[in-house]
Amino acid sequence: MKKIIIVILMLLAGYNLVLSQSRITFVSDHNSSGYYQVYTMNEDGSNKKQLTDMSTDCFFPRWSPDGSKIVFNTEDGRIFYIDNVNTDTPAEPYFVFGGEHPSFSTDGETIIFNSDFEGVLTIYAMFYNESEPIIVSNLGYSNQQVLSKDGSKIVFSSFVQGGKDVMLIDLDDTTENNVYQISNNDNANLLPDISSDNQMIVWSSFNNNLQGTIHIYKDGKEKAISKGIPSANRPKFSPNDKKIAFVEIGESKTKFYTMDLEGGNRKSYDVKGGNVANFMWIDNDRIVYDAEDGKNYDVGILNVSTGKSELLTDKGSSMHPDILN
């Protein structure tokens, strides 16, 4: 009897482990069509599931907050979402609008994306039941937007007075003066991220030689924190806002790093799969990423505490991961 109870407990423990795993969405060309299609899988690479079968490449899938939907764009500049993705019969992709790089609002009711709908590429938002989007940024060429965790702020890159600057929109402020310039330098300021408490913003600032330096806006001041690294890009805060992950861009390869908020305690990692391109934090210890080896992309997970990385895909080419915790 005791042995039977132990076996049952072991089975239940394994079952709970499966249930507690985060889900990852990504795109892969490992299918009969050869196009990049939207997939999901567990964080250990198991239970891979193809969700789309379109005659075009699909890119940048993103989860809704409740995990019931995934939004993505196609190579020909159309945005779709899939409903009921965690059921046995996910819905067919539903066309939303023309654009790229879509994501959901924190309440899951709105899709935020880039489009040149009115002649200039900028940021729009669109409710499911509307036929046309509403403009979010009136600054002209605006993109690379990131929504804050609480949905009250958007940071993005936009042309302001002839230069590319990091900007912030306070969505809680309904007046006309709710847009703020964050960066204050003559470089091209790109790919911002905002801390979970909305108090800090980090981005990469590129000079005329296309060399990037990580800048942080903290306590009302801008500071360069990646000095000594020739070119750094794609900074992202850890969930607890204590670390910043980024890539160093070399002539022939990229290198992956973490550092603290002052630029200290830098640590580089040997990452399986090749050169890291897109990534995001899963938790304070792990990062999901895609990397290319000159031929294909693969999706992997890096543990920044142990330095261990492992690939979750090994067939075809897979990229653009997004995590649902």
Note the pLDDT of residue 174. 87
Please tell me the distance from the alpha carbon of residue 17 to that of residue 273, in angstroms, as a whole number. Answer: 26
Note the pLDDT of residue 32. 95
Q: What is the distance of C-alpha 97 from the center of its chain?
A: 21
Around 230, how many Cα atoms within 13 Å sit in the side-chain half-sphere? 8
Note the pLDDT of residue 15. 42
Sequence-ordered list of residues with C-beta below 8 angstroms from that of 2, at least 6 positions apart, any chain: none
Nearest to 200 by CA among 221, 184, 186, 231: 221
Note the pLDDT of residue 308. 97
Spans of the chain, pLDDT less than 70: 1-20
Note the pLDDT of residue 20. 67
Whether this model's pTM surpasses 0.85: yes
Please tell me the distance from the alpha carbon of residue 110 to that of residue 128, in angstroms, as a whole number. Answer: 7
Note the pLDDT of residue 251. 80
